[in-house]
A = this chain, B = another copy of it.
């Protein structure tokens, strides 16, 4: 991986440069709108639904919203992670002496049980270089098969971060491969931020004539939220982050409150892509540079409700992590109040990032099998 010190500066124009670099390899995913979801988001919640929350007894907010959904569930490998993986790989290959020093034979390595594993496997295969992917031996067989399906070598490890990092160090020593981390690196952030450049253009084509008022995006390690924030710098578009609240997975929100980054998370939220703490580079953009206005969080039940709406009304498959932004827009009275006050009669054009769609039918059935009609 490129030494971060040699990476492009973390700016909007670096995101634009990243987009130019990766465009031949990724899908320009569609942006969808949906009348039913606009109506739902523009209807006040019932007073009863606020009972037991800090908003109990308040007048429910009444924002007027037009939502623009960026469908990265339709991205290659089923998630935005393809963007960062292609960008980091291409930047690595462009390093002086990379080929002469045997970079093409040494390849790349990462440890991931999720979308980044498949994303890096795809990028490496496309570039004709080897990928060594360390996965916990308890990973689901479908994820292992998918990663191997892209031609990667899968190495099994224990599931703790210590065990995974030890396995990675061993592979690096053995092969000379370069580590491509899942989120905590400038090249990854710049790659992920390209989705937001597209969203900004596509929403105007779809009728947001004055441009978006804001974008809300999920936050796990923060690579994508950080990249999104960079892509909006200087545009006047506000950026909000969304997290699951279950078992403290809202580490970035808690970090905003405490004034410093929370460094570890142990949550089993159903939003399994968001169980990681925000990384150092993303935090520098999201919090220290104040490029994200605020963080919000939702319960796992609210995530399931949002998934069901997308499924039944938009006929789209999204993974739990993908809908935390929509869930915040529908259910968080704090943000809904902001949107009502700032949007006024004209309302707001709100970009909502659907980050991925990699959920198996089996997992989905498990989430909803004990539910009512």
* Contact surface of A with B, Cβ cutoff 8 Å: 73-74, 78, 140-142, 307-308, 311-312, 315-318, 357, 360-362, 364-369, 371-373
Taking CB atoms, residues of chain B closer than 8 Å to A307 are 361
Q: How far is the CA of A360 from the CA of B311 in the complex (A)?
A: 8
Bound: A137/B315 CA distance, A? 27
Q: Complex formed: what's the CA distance from A93 to B250 in Å?
A: 57
Q: Point out the residues of chain B lying under 8 angstroms from A357, CB to CB.
A: 315
How far apart are A118's CB and chain B's nearest CB, in angstroms? 13
The one of B308, B360, B369 that contacts A373, using a Cβ cutoff of 8 Å: B360
- Asked if residues A361 and B366 are in contact (CB atoms below 8 Å), the reply is no
Given contacts A74-B315, A315-B317, A364-B365, 19 further A-B contacts (CB under 8 A): A73-B315, A78-B315, A141-B373, A311-B317, A312-B317, A312-B361, A315-B316, A315-B318, A316-B316, A316-B317, A361-B368, A361-B371, A362-B371, A362-B373, A365-B365, A365-B366, A365-B367, A365-B369, A365-B371
Contact of A373 with B142 at beta-carbon distance under 8 Å, contacts A368-B361, A368-B362 already known: yes
In angstroms, Cα B360 to Cα A365, docked, is 11
Number of copies: 2
For residue A360, which residues in chain B have a CB less than 8 angstroms away from its CB?
312, 373
B361 lies within 8 A of A308 (CB): yes
Smallest distance from the beta carbon of A328 to chain B beta carbons, Å? 21
12 A-B residue contacts at CB 8 Å?
A73-B315, A78-B315, A142-B373, A307-B361, A311-B317, A315-B317, A315-B318, A315-B357, A316-B316, A317-B317, A361-B364, A365-B365
B residues near A368, Cβ cutoff 8 Å: 361-362, 364-365
User: In the docked arrangement, what's the CA distance between A372 and B367, Å?
Assistant: 15
Q: Judging by beta carbons under 8 Å apart, are B373 and A140 in contact?
A: yes
Which residue in chain B gives the minimum CB-CB distance to A142? B373
* Assembly CA distance A343 to B312 (angstroms): 37
Q: Complex Cα distance A369/B307, Å?
A: 17
When C-beta atoms are compared, the residue in chain B nearest to A354 turns out to be B315
CB distance from A141 to the nearest CB of B (A): 6
B residues less than 8 Å from A369 (CB atoms): 365-366, 369
Chain B nearest CB from A135 CB (Å) reads 15
Bound complex: CA of A357 vs CA of B315, how far in Å?
Answer: 6
- A316, B318: Cα distance in complex, Å: 9
Complex CA–CA separation, A360 to B141 (angstroms): 27
| Cβ of A202 to closest chain B Cβ, rounded Å | 15
Bound CA–CA A369/B365 (angstroms)? 5
Complex Cα spacing A318 to B371, Å: 20
Nearest Cβ distance between residue A308 and chain B, in whole angstroms? 5
**Closest CB in chain B relative to A126 CB, distance in Å:** 14
Interface centre among A73, A142, A312, A371, by most chain B C-beta atoms within 10 angstroms, is A312
CA–CA, A141 and B316, complex, Å: 22
CA distance A307 to B360 in the complex (A): 12
CB closest residue in chain B, given A363: B373
Question: In the assembled complex, which residues on chain B have CB atoms less than 8 Å from the CB atom of A74?
Answer: 315
Closest Cβ of chain B: how far from A17's Cβ, in Å? Answer: 28
Q: A-B pairs with the 8 shortest C-beta distances? A: A315-B357, A315-B317, A365-B365, A365-B368, A365-B369, A369-B369, A73-B315, A361-B368
